[in-house]
Amino acid sequence: MEAADVEAVARQLARPPRGLRRVAHRCPCAAPDVVETAPRLPDGTPFPTLYYLTCPRAAGAIGTLEASGVMREMTERLAVDEDLRARYAAAHEEYVDRREALERVPEIAGVSAGGMPDRVKCLHVLVAHALAAGPGVNPLGDEALAMLPDWWAAGSCVREPVSGDEEAAR
C-alpha cells in the first residue's frame, strides 16, 4: 500500500491500522473507505474481517442505521425469504473464498463476518463487502448501502494532521 493511503487510514481510525493489504474501495472523495485486511494479523491473531470500513462518516451513518432496528428486520426476512437467504449464503461463500485465496487460516476456515450466512450482526461489514465486491454480490450490504446518506458530500473525512501548537489552540 502507498504510504499516503496508510497515513489516511490511520487518521480515519485514529490509530495505526493492522494487517493492511490494500485499499479495497475509495470513497467518491478519493480517500480510502474500505481496506482489505490480512486473514492473520502481524501478531498472529486470526482476523476474519477481510473488508474493513475505515471512513468515520460512513461508519457513523451505518451506526445510526443499525440503531434503527434494520438488522433485526433483515434477519427476520432471511428466515422467510428463500431467495434472499440463498443470495446471502452466496455472499458468505464469496467472502470466504476471497479471504482464503489470500491465506488459509484454519482457526477461521469457513467463517465470514457480519453474521453471514444466517443473520445480520454488523452492517459495517456488509457495507464494506458490498463496496469492495461491487453491486449484486452481497444483497443485504447493497440494501444497507442504498439506505445511507451521501457521507462524502461534506468532503474528505481525512483531516490533515495538526501540530502540537494547533492542537493546544483548539
Amino acid at 162: V
| φ, ψ at 41 (rounded to 5°) | -70, 160
Distance, CA of 46 to CA of 76 (rounded, Å): 30
Name every residue whose Cβ is closer than 8 Å to that of residue 106 and which is 6 or more positions away in sequence: none
Chain centroid to Cα 84, Å, comes to 21
Cβ contact 10:32 at 8 Å? no
pLDDT (mean) for 143-159: 90
Report H helices in 81-112. 82-102
Confidence (pLDDT) at 154: 85
| Predicted confidence (pLDDT) per residue in 19-42, tens digit | 999 999 999 999 999 999 999 999
Q: 10 Å Cβ neighbour count for 167?
A: 9
Residue 1: pLDDT band by 50, 70, 90 thresholds? confident
Radius of gyration (C-alpha) of the chain in whole angstroms: 17
3-state SS assignment for residue 59? helix
User: Cell digits for 161?
Assistant: 494532521
pLDDT (mean) for 124-138: 98
Mean confidence (pLDDT) of the chain: 92
Residue 160: pLDDT band by 50, 70, 90 thresholds? low
Q: Please state the domain extents for the chain.
A: 3-147
User: Cell digits for 117?
Assistant: 450466512
Confidence (pLDDT) at 7: 96
